[in-house]
Every structure is written in structure tokens, then in C-alpha cells.
Amino acid sequence: MTACKRVVIIGGTGVFGKRLARHICAWPGLEVVLTSRSAEKAQALAAKIAADVPGARISGVALDHRHGLLETLTALAPWAVVDASGPFQGANYATAKAALLAGAHVLDLADARDYLAGYAEALNALALAKGLVALAGASSTPALSGAVVAALTEGWARVDTVDIAITPGGQSEVGPAVIEAILTYAGKPIPVWRNGALAQSFGWGEGRWGAMSGLGRRLVAAVETLDPQDLGPRYKVQSRVRFSAGLESLPEQLGLMALARLRRWGFFQNVKTWVPWLLQGRRLTRLITSDRGGMLVDVTGLDAEGRATRARWSLLVGQNHGPNIPTLPAAAALKALLSETFPAGARAATEALPLAAIEAK
């Protein structure tokens, strides 16, 4: 019998890691290993998933990526490592490097602009030398957002505007890593693509009301992603690339935007102290919000015949399934690795996966 390929998920008990594990643990030829700093926590979750998913091959082990990571990964002998830990804002490439040195393909769910922008330069030589794939950002951005823009604008003569918005349901599960990530750049300078060139805005600023089918109007604001500095030059976008996000709870959204403004003025610079308070506050706002969220990509430009055109893609998610969406590109990437369709090397996930492959997951 052919041995199963082992996938180690770092942060496997977190909001995204546990969902990815549940999704892939019964795939033919795969064995999933959940990791957590607590062996008991990882083993308990693995046992629960195994009881829920027929045919699951899953186990849990202790792993602290801050200590002895290379030795632990070498002992586990993974075929692939998925980093779903976060936050990636301010992170280095030590985890990805350790996975490559242990002989494993590596991918992550990072959405942090600086981390993604420097990924290929930091890891490509090692990945090529090992004959392995290192893929960063196999998540809602830049993998899904980039795939959608590529599909919508295929064959176009010109792209004028790209507007991307994500607005999760207020009842969706949110972990401390996500809260810390969004606070990291609140009120801080972020790159935007404006008038056909890179410009600057501020995280969780430039608030605007947007409408999404099935969700109504929600207030969204500018967030930091790789998309403006990547999609802008890639498609020679004439006007803007705008990536916004919004919370369903208006008090939460307004509070976050107010905090961003205060941070611009020099207050509340230590964001970690706010994470527990915001998590507590979210438990209250969940009582008055819904289980529905979504993502919208809206592009304008000229089609192949030079005619003005507009294309929109939207995703509506209910029943608190929103946190599953960032895991779909990671699942699609693992499927591509299984079929050996990825060339070796390190890269950010923008346009690495076609939209059809992500939607199929």
C-alpha cells in the first residue's frame, strides 16, 4: 500500500487551521497532523474531527514554531507544511525556511503585504535548490482576489478600476490573531493604487458605504493588502485598485475607524493590549448581527473590441461559513501539489491558482 503524504498544519487548532484540516483530512493519499503548543488541545481536536469525518486520517501533536521547529518538522517528515498560525504582519520567513529545509513543500494563509512582497526574494533560491514549492498568501487575498480579477478581465484591452471588498458576518468566529493583524496597520500608512500609480492612504480610513447583493449596505474602509501594488502594475490599471473591508456591526466598524484615527495622532500604539477587549466586545455585538458575509470584486475597463465594460463577481456566505473561504485557496494549492502542476520555487499566490480550481474546493 502506498504511504500517505503527510500534511502538517501549524496553527491547526485555530480558526482557519481546523477548518482546512476538516476539509482535507479524508482526501485519498493524505494524512493530516494538527499542531498546537498544547498536545492535549491538538489531540482533542483531531479526535473530534476523526469522529465527525468518515475516513479521516488525522492526529495531533505539540509544536511551538518559536523553539526547535526544524528538529520537530524533520522528525515528523511532512510532505507539505501549511502555516495557518498568523498574524503575519511583522513576521519573518523562519517557519517557511524550516519547512523547506525539512524537505517539505510549504504554503501559508498570509495576507500581510510586507511579508508577501518579500517572500520570493527570501525563499526562492532555497526552494529551487530543494526542488520544492513555497507559496504564500493562499487565502482570500492575494490568491482568491487575484484569481477573480484574472478571470473577469481575461482578454480585456484595458483595466480602469478594480474594487475589492470583504465583509464578514458579525457572528463568524474570529481569533486573536485576526484581531491583532487588523489592528497592526490601523491608522498606519498603507499603499494604494490611485490615478494609475502607487499612492498612500491609512489603514481603516477612507470609509465608504458599499452595497452587496444579499447583504444590503455596509460601511467598509481601506485595509492593507498586496493587491494594489501587485494588481496595479500587473494590469496597468488606469485609475484605482481599492481593497476595503467592513464589519457587519456598525458600532464595531465605527469604533475601529475611530481607533485608527487616534493611532494616526499617536495614541494607542500597543495594539496587543486591545485584542482581549475587542474579543470580549465582539461577543456582545454577535447578539445583534447575522451569520452572513461576502466578498465582491468589481472591475471596469475596455473589452477586446475596445468597448467600455464592467464585470462583477460576488460571493455570499451564510450559516457562519465565512471562515471557510480563506482556506479554499490553500486546499486548491494542496490539490495542485498532489497533481504536481506547480513548478518549484517560491512565490506569492497572486494568479498562482485559477478561479475555477478555488471554486471547486
Prediction pTM value: 0.93
- Candidates 3.40.50.720, 3.40.50.200, 3.40.50.300, 3.30.1330.60; CATH matching 5-139+326-359: 3.40.50.720
Average pLDDT for residues 15-24, to the nearest whole number?
96
What is the rounded CA–CA span in Å between residue 133 and residue 12?
21
Residue from 37, 99, 102, 93 nearest 64 by CA: 37
Is residue 251 helix, strand or coil?
helix
pLDDT number for residue 211: 86
Average pLDDT for residues 197-204, to the nearest whole number?
96
- Candidates 3.40.1010.10, 2.60.15.10, 3.30.360.10, 3.40.50.720; CATH matching 141-322: 3.30.360.10
Give me the percent of the chain exceeding a pLDDT of 90.
Answer: 76
* Residue 344 identity: A
Rounded to 10°, the helix 17-24/39-52 angle is 40
pLDDT surpassing 70 at residue 28: yes
* Residue 317 identity: V
pLDDT surpassing 90 at residue 304: yes
pLDDT number for residue 133: 97
pLDDT surpassing 70 at residue 217: yes
pLDDT bin (cut points 50, 70, 90) of residue 1 is very low
pLDDT surpassing 90 at residue 213: no
DSSP annotation of 351 = T
- Read off the pLDDT of residues 41-93 as tens digits, 9 standing for 90 and up: 999 999 999 999 999 999 999 998 888 899 999 999 999 999 999 789 889 99
What is the rounded CA–CA span in Å between residue 129 and residue 147?
28
Read off the C-alpha cell for 266.
499617536
Every domain of the chain and the residues it spans: 5-139+326-359, 141-322
pLDDT number for residue 2: 59
- Read off the pLDDT of residues 98-119 as tens digits, 9 standing for 90 and up: 999 999 999 999 999 999 999 9
Give me the percent of the chain exceeding a pLDDT of 70.
Answer: 99
pLDDT number for residue 280: 80
What is the rounded CA–CA span in Å between residue 175 and residue 151?
31
Average pLDDT value over all residues in the chain: 93
Average pLDDT for residues 250-261, to the nearest whole number?
91
pLDDT number for residue 43: 97
